[in-house]
A and B are shown apart, each in its own frame.
Chain A
Amino acid sequence: MADEVIVLTGIKETIDALKQFDKAAARKFNKVINDELTRAERSADNLVVQFTNPVYGTPMRGWRKTSAARPRTRGGAGWPAWDVSTIQAGITKSRSQGKVRGDYTTSAGALINKSAAGAIFEVAGRTPGSARKNQFIRYLSNSFGKASRLIWAVVDKDKDEIQKRVAAALEDAKKTLQTNLNGRS
C-alpha cells in the first residue's frame, strides 16, 4: 500500500458549482473520474482471471470451487469458494465520501473488494510473520506475491497516473467554472 497520499481539493465544491453554470462541464468532469475508476475496476477483474489457474479453475488446486453443500450455522459458512464471476462482481468502484479520516480527508474514488474469497486472496499474509506459520499463505505469497494482490495491486500500479489525470480534469473544471464566473460578473 502506498504511504504517501496526494490530496486533491475542491472536487465536490467544483462539481456543485459547475452544476449551476455548466452542467455539461460537470458531466464531463464526473465522466473523467468514473472512467478512471472503471478502468481500474476492469484491471482488477482481469487480475482475477489472470490469477485463476485454467486447469483447476482456482488460484491453487485445493481451493474449492463451490460453496459448502451444508454450510454450518455456527462457526461460519466454511471456506469461501473461488468463483471468478462472484469475485469480479464483488470488485466495484465507489465514489462515496465515507467518514472523514484523522488526516482530514475523505474518499473521492475507491475500489472495493467485497467478496469473501477475493478479500482473502487480497490480504492473506498481510500480518507480518504469518507466512512462516501457514502453508496456504506461504504458497499464496510465493505464487502471487505478497498481500495486496487484487485491487491494491491495481491501485499501487496505476494510482499516480489516475491522480494526475483526475487532477488535470479538476483544473480544467475549475477554469471552466472561473470562465463562467467571469461571464456573470
Chain B
Amino acid sequence: MAVGAVIARIITQYSAKGSKAAQKDIAKLGKDFDKFAKRSALAFAAAGAAVGAFTVKVGTDAVRAAIEDQKSQVLLANSLRNTVGATDATIASTEQYITLLQKQVSVTDSELRPALARLTAATGSIETGQKLLATALNVSAQSGADLASSSDAIIKATRGQYKGLALLVPQLSNSTIKSKNFAKALGEVDKATAGAASKRAATLEYRLKGLNIAYGEILETLGYALLPVIEKFADVITTKVLPQLEAWIAANKDKLAASLDTILTKLPALIIQVFDLFNYIQRNLGTIQVLGALLVSTFAAAKVYAGVIALSGAINILTAAFGRQAAAATAAGTATAFATGGASALAAAAGLAAFTTASLIAYKQLTKNNKVLDKTKEVTTAIAKDNNKVVVTTGKVLGNTTKLTAEQQKQLASQQALNKLKKMGVVPTSETDPIQLEAVKLNLLKEQNLAQKGMYDQLLANYEATNRMNIAAQRYADILMVIADNKISDSEVNLLAQKWGITNYEVTKYLASVTGNVNLGSGWDAAGLAAAEGWKTALGDLNKYLEAVGKGSFVAPKNVPTTSTSPTVVSDSLAEAKAQIEASTVRLNQINQSLLEKIANTNKISDTPTLSGSSNTFIPGYSDYRASERASSPTVNITVNGSVSSSNDLTETVRNGILAGQTSGRSITARVLDL
C-alpha cells in the first residue's frame, strides 16, 4: 500500500484476535479492580481510623467536660431545690454567679458548685451561702487549703466548732472562739483574709489556671453541642457498630496488625488512584452503562443457551424412551410372545390393544416433540438475532473506546459485575467470543438434528414392530380358524403357506411355535420329516457349492410332506419319498466322492507340478526364475491335472514358499518346492 494513501473502510468485521485481547484486558481489569478494592479498603480503614481517633480525642474531652459540668450543675440545682426551695430562675442566676466567680478567682466551677451547695444547705440561704463561699475562697487562698476544706471549716463554725477554722485562720481570737459568736468570728476571718482570692487569681499560676478553665469552658460548650449527637451516636455504636466491629476485629486482628505499615506507606498513592477512578467514571459513564447492557444481553443469551442445552437433554431422554418402547414392541410382536401373552384370543387381543395404545402415545409424544423442536428452532433463531445485536452493540462500545486512552480501555468492564450477575442466578458460558458463540449455536443445532434423527429411527422401529404385531395377530386369527376342528390338514397348511407367502415347512414350524400342538419330534413320521429337512438343507448347501465350482445344481425335491392324514396318502407319499431318497443317495455318493477328490487336490501340491506353457518335464533353473521375477509383469500359472481348484491359491502358495526359502538362504531348486 502506497505511503500516504487515504483508506476508507466500508465493511468492518470483528477480529477474533481482538476478542482474545479484549478478554485478557477484561481479566486484567478485574484483577486491577480486586487490587484496588483491597488497597482502598486498607486506605479507607486508615483514614477512618485517623479521623476517628481525632474525633474521639476532641469529642472525648469536650463531652467528658460537658458531662462533668452537667453533673455538677445538676447536683447544685438539686441541692438548692432541696435545701432552700430554689426556683429555676434562682438556679440560673446562681449558675451565672458561679460562672463569673470562676473567672474572677480562677477556681473551677466543679469546685465552686459543691462548696456553694454545702454552704447554702448549712445556712438555709443562697445569699448567705454565696457570702460564705466568698469567705471560703479567701480562706482557701490565704491558708493554701482547698476550697472544700475551707467550706467545711466554715460550716462547722456555723455549728459552734471553730477548731478547723482556727487552724486555717490563725488570726481568729480565742475570745471569739470561746464566745462562739459566728458573726464575730466571720468578721475576724473576713478581716484576716480579705482580698486573698483576688490576689491569688492575679498570680501567674492562677492566670494560667484561668486559661485552662476558659479552655475547659470552650470544651464544655462544644460538648453540650455534641451531647445530643453523641447520645444518638452512642446508641448506634452500642447496638449496631460495636457488635459487628468486635466480630470483624476478632476475625481480622492479625491482618490488621500486618497491614498497618502498608496503609501508612500507600495512602497518598491511593488517594490519587481514587481520584483518577472517579474522574474516569464521570467521563465514561455512558460507555459503562452500555457495557452493562451488553453484559446483561450476553448473559440473557447464555440463559437461552442453557435452555437449549436442557431441551437437548430432554430430547435425548425421549429418544431413549422410544428405544425402550420399540424393543418392547419388538418382543411383543413375535408370534411366540403374542401367543404366550394371550393363550386365548381375548388375551391376545388385549396384548394387541395395549401395544396399539402404547404406539399411539408414542406418536403423540413425537408430534409434541416436533412442536418443541420447532420452538427450539425459533429460540435458536432468536439467539442468532440477539447475537448479532450483541455484536453490533459490541462494535459501538468498542468504537467508543477508541476515544479513550490506552489505560482507560483496560477498565471497560468489571469482573465484579460478572460476579454479581452470577449471584443473580445467571450462569454464563465461559465463551465471550461472538464467533465461538456462533459455533456453539451451530453445534447445538447439529446435536438437535442428531437427536431428531434418532427419534425418527426409533419411531420407524415402532412402526415395524407394529407391522410384525399385526402380522402375528392376523396369523393367530388364521390359526384359530384352522384349528377350529382340532386338526390341521395338508390343504390347510398349503393354504396358510400361500396366504402367508412362506413354505409349508415354515408354516408347520410357525404352527408349532405358536400352538405347541404340532410336535415335529414325537410323531410316527418325525424321523422322516427330520431326515427330509436335513437332506433339504444339505442339498441346498451342496447346490450352492456346485454352482460355485461351475457344476450344475441338483434338483431338490419340493413340498416335502409335513403331516399325513390318511393311509393311502401316506403310502403314496412314502413310496415317492423312498424313490427320491434312493436317487438322492446315489447322486450324493457320487458327488461326495468327487468332492473328496477335489479337496484332496486343493489342499496339497501335486507331486509333479507343471508350469503353464511348458511340458511336464520342463523345470526352470534358479537363474531363470530370478530373471522372470525381475521382469516387469511376471505371470506364473500353475495347472493341476484334473483339478478344479483355484490356480491363484496355488500360485500364492508357491510364491510364499520360494520367498521363504530365499530368506532362509537355502538354494532353491525345482525339487524343493514342496516346502
Contacts and interface: CB of A to CB of B under 8 A. Distances in A.
Given A109-B11, A163-B11, A166-B11, A104 B6 contact: no
Given A4-B399, A106-B13, A119 B8 contact: no
A182 B449 contact: yes
Nearest to B452: A185
Given A7-B391, A9-B434, A112-B7, A181 B442 contact: yes
Nearest to B6: A113
B5 A102 contact: no
Contacts of B14: 7-10, 104-105
B12 interface: yes
Interface stretch (B17-25, B465-473, B476-484, B507-515): B17-25
A182 B445 contact: yes
B394 A7 contact: yes
B13 to A, nearest CB: 4
Given A10-B435, A116-B4, A181-B445, A162 B10 contact: yes
B15 A162 contact: no
Contact of A11 (B13, B18, B442): B13
Interface stretch (A45-53, A57-65, A129-137, A151-159): A151-159
B660 interface: no
A25 interface: no
A174 B2 CA distance: 35
A163 B12 CA distance: 9
B434 A105 contact: no
Given A6-B392, A105-B12, A109-B10, A181 B5 contact: no
Contacts of A173: none
Contacts of B395: 5-7, 103, 105
B435 A9 contact: yes
B445 A178 contact: yes
A123 to B, nearest CB: 6
Interface string A144-178: 00000011101100010011001000000010011
B453 to A, nearest CB: 7
A12 interface: yes
A22 interface: no
A67 to B, nearest CB: 16
Interface in A1-55: 1, 3-13, 33, 36-37, 40
A110 B438 contact: no
A108 interface: yes
A69 interface: no
A97 B17 CA distance: 12
Interface string B433-468: 011001000100110011001000000000000000
B18 A10 contact: no
A107 interface: yes
B404 to A, nearest CB: 9
B590 interface: no
Contacts of A118: 6
A155 B12 contact: no
Contact of A110 (B9, B445, B450): B9
A178 B399 CA distance: 30
Contacts of B450: 185
B425 to A, nearest CB: 28
B1 interface: yes
B409 interface: yes
Contacts of B396: 4-5
B398 interface: yes
A6 to B, nearest CB: 6
Contact of B10 (A4, A36, A106): A36
B641 interface: no
Contacts of A4: 396, 399
A16 to B, nearest CB: 11
B401 interface: yes
A179 to B, nearest CB: 11
Interface in B2-58: 2, 4-15, 17-19, 21-22
A8 B12 CA distance: 6
A163 B449 CA distance: 33
Contacts of B22: 104
B18 A100 contact: yes
B632 interface: no
B633 interface: no
Nearest to B18: A104
B284 to A, nearest CB: 15
A123 B6 contact: yes
A9 B399 contact: no
B265 interface: no
A164 to B, nearest CB: 11
A182 B448 CA distance: 10
Interface string B369-400: 00000000000000010001001101110110
A31 B10 CA distance: 16
Contacts of A101: 18, 402
Interface in B405-451: 409, 434-435, 438, 442, 445-446, 449-450
Nearest to A33: B11
Contacts of B13: 7-12, 97, 105-108
A102 B19 contact: no
Nearest 8 Cβ contacts at the A-B interface: A104-B18, A7-B395, A109-B11, A103-B398, A108-B11, A108-B13, A113-B6, A9-B14
15 contacts: A3-B399, A5-B399, A7-B13, A105-B15, A107-B11, A107-B12, A113-B8, A114-B1, A114-B2, A119-B5, A163-B11, A181-B442, A181-B445, A181-B446, A182-B445
Given A5-B12, A13-B438, 18 more contacts: A7-B14, A8-B13, A8-B391, A10-B435, A10-B438, A13-B435, A102-B401, A103-B395, A103-B401, A104-B18, A105-B14, A105-B395, A112-B6, A118-B6, A151-B8, A152-B6, A178-B442, A181-B442
Interface of A: 1, 3-13, 33, 36-37, 40, 90, 94, 96-97, 100-114, 116, 118-119, 122-123, 150-152, 154-155, 159, 162-163, 166, 174, 177-178, 181-182, 184-185
